[in-house]
Structure 1
Amino acid sequence: MASVKFVAGLDGGGTKTAVTVADEYGVVVKTFTSGAINYNGQDEVSVGASLKEIVETIAQICGGIEHCAEVCIGAAGVSNPNVVSKMTSQVRLHGYHGGLHITGDHETALVGAHRRPYGMILIAGTGSIGLGKNEAGLTHRVGGYGHLIDDEGSGYSIGRDLLSALVQAQDGRIPRTIITDMVYQKLAISSVQEIIGFVYDKRTNKKDIAAIAPILSEACAAGDPAALSIAEKSALSLFQLVIPVAETLSLQKNSLAMAGSVLLKNTFVQSKFRELLIGRYPEMECITPKSDASMGGVYMALQRLKEH
């Protein structure tokens, strides 16, 4: 066992970290999940505890941490240089001294989705971001600047638009909509006053607003005009993330991977999005990810192992 080298890929999501451990030939040995390692949403103590558990689990899987040659971590918030240095020192502190690469979770998601280092990915979950990389190695990123100024077409923006439709219908600015009762039921409340209380409560965060988004599918299925309008707006916003990526990198005939719950679970948003995409780029192939972001981390770690 000691003669075989191992690599690990980490996908640091908002609520948990998915880890994939593979041998040097790319054969997956084990996958597991641990706590969140996102410094934007977690305190340093809990991030440190999660990283300690991850390093210890990798050590068990590999028969000693020294047998793990490369680790690639994809996480949100790493555009902040302080985050990278904090994460690096935590990983080292817990006994891992092999190769370490820390990058954005959209980068590992792209590699996992295509099982190669180039292509395009559009992620629409709580937030939204588009990323492309061409065969020349040039990259272009669009969106992902957070819910206060961006994240158009995301679960957060859909949740916000559903709440907005509710208050506008209440005022008579738009016709009555089934969204009202659905939101009340989802949040277990019964008045606009309570909605305002929920929205502006300091404890309510963007994930709480995004959690309302799944209602959209049901409201669209019932043919509700306000809901269909929100789905169309979301699809258009997401389509607008693709254009600059495709044009800047000349990827108009390449494949685009769709990721995140908005694109994968809302058939109304997805079909409208595909329609817009085919209209502009008839030769672009729209795919669902071939592998997850933790596997993308494994591919990146294997590539680094080859280079060293």
Structure 2
Amino acid sequence: MKYVAGMDGGGTKTAVTVADETGRLVRSFASGAINYNGQDEASIRHSLQEMMAQIADACGGLEHCAHLCIGAAGVSHPAVDSWLTAEVRACGYEGGLTVTGDHETALYGALDSPCGIVLIAGTGSICFGRNEAGKTHRTGGGGHLVDDEGSGYSIGRELIAAVLKASDGRIPETAITDMVHKRLQAESVQQIIGFVYDKSTNKKDIAALAPILSEACALEDRAALAIASASARALFELAVPVITELGLQDGSLALAGGVLLNNAYVRTALLEMLLQSYPGLRIVLAPKDASIGAVRMALQRWKDGDGKRQNGECDQPFP
């Protein structure tokens, strides 16, 4: 019996799924993040070693794993593909290997066919699509320093900014202030600023504040509702070029990532904008575990000879 494995490496954790050659799922688990742009090499190496050990256990040895697909945030970094490949090989894995963006695996996992669009708003944000002719288009995904509007990181940053603005009178008092202070166990604005600029604080720490937005919106807090509206608008702006460039105005679009799956205020505002502009668009919520998409890609790449296709056409729908 041969097996395949898929990793979905988001900004805060990595979901892993192992399946046998028939597509039957045999194990799912989670480990640390493997985002090269947000984690140090030592922590990524440790997480990969842990995951490869569990994959070996599920398959009865790494030699029985025919193909591994790693979908990871941050693979646009020119060094990531070769570095991840070297680290996986160092774990003793010799089978087929695909390293791609988590937007690719999310699309595979979200729709019955890998043709369509996926809009992801997790720790970061990105939109990716593929039409029936095999043409692809991507927007966003540039990372938290220059991009990622509408993401968990962006929302976390805007929540902190709202606290600062309310403290000095630039905006009215907001319920966000007490919520952020409580979450960070901070007694002053200065402590919050210290948290932001502390060298040990990373983007997932900022993104971890994002759930506060739902709580504040439920109180009809003006600042929170403004953040939710701006986030939805930013995500809509990510989707528009992909829809139009690929001619998928009547296609399928999957919403993925913690912000869109868990924040009803952002999701509802985004849906209104999308359906008003594209009434023929079919919109679905993606499964929370995008590693299923990585497994589907691994299984297909293995059956197709490790993905060496002779044309650019879209894959056939999944069974």
Query: TM (normalized to structure 1)?
Result: 0.93
Pairing 1:186–2:186 present: no
Map Cα deviations across residues 37-69 of structure 1 (whole Å, 9 max, x no partner): 333333333333333333333222222322221
Equivalent residue, structure 2, for 1:151? 148
Mapped contact 2:8–2:16 kept (Cα < 8 A): yes
Structure-2 change in CA distance of 1:201 and 1:59 (3 Å): closer
Residue 29 (structure 1) aligned to one of 20, 26, 31: 26
Mapped contact 2:12–2:204 kept (Cα < 8 A): no
- Greater shift, 191-200 or 244-253, is seen at 191-200
Mapped contact 1:127–1:147 kept (Cα < 8 A): yes
Residue 235 (structure 1) aligned to one of 232, 235, 250: 232
Mapped contact 2:4–2:66 kept (Cα < 8 A): yes
- How much does 1:104 deviate? 0.8
Residue 282 (structure 1) aligned to one of 279, 283, 286: 279
Distance 1:94 1:159 in 2: 36
Pairing 1:8–2:5 present: yes
Equivalent residue, structure 1, for 2:116? 119
Distance 1:37 1:230 in 2: 29
| CA-atom RMSD in angstroms | 1.8
Instruction: Note the residue ranges of structure 1 that are not aligned, 5 or more in a row.
Output: none
Equivalent residue, structure 2, for 1:137? 134
Pairing 1:73–2:70 present: yes
* Paired residue secondary structure (1:81): coil
Q: What percent identity do the matched residue pairs reach?
A: 63
Distance 1:303 1:242 in 2: 27
Structure-2 change in CA distance of 1:69 and 1:270 (3 Å): same
Distance 1:141 1:198 in 2: 33
Map Cα deviations across residues 90-145 of structure 1 (whole Å, 9 max, x no partner): 22222221111111111111111114221111111121111111111111111111
- How much does 1:270 deviate? 0.9
Aligned partner of 1:286: which letter? I
Mapped contact 2:10–2:35 kept (Cα < 8 A): yes
- How much does 1:291 deviate? 6.7
* Paired residue secondary structure (1:286): strand
Structure-2 change in CA distance of 1:162 and 1:54 (3 Å): closer
Aligned partner of 2:251: which letter? N
Mapped contact 2:7–2:294 kept (Cα < 8 A): yes
Paired residues for 1:159-308 under 5 Å: 159-290=156-287, 292-308=289-305
- How much does 1:257 deviate? 0.9
Residue 18 (structure 1) aligned to one of 15, 18, 21: 15
Query: TM (normalized to structure 2)?
Result: 0.90
Q: How many residue pairs get matched?
A: 305
Aligned partner of 2:272: which letter? E
* Paired residue secondary structure (2:79): helix
Structure-2 change in CA distance of 1:33 and 1:208 (3 Å): closer
Distance 2:38 2:88 in 1: 19
Distance 1:97 1:62 in 2: 14
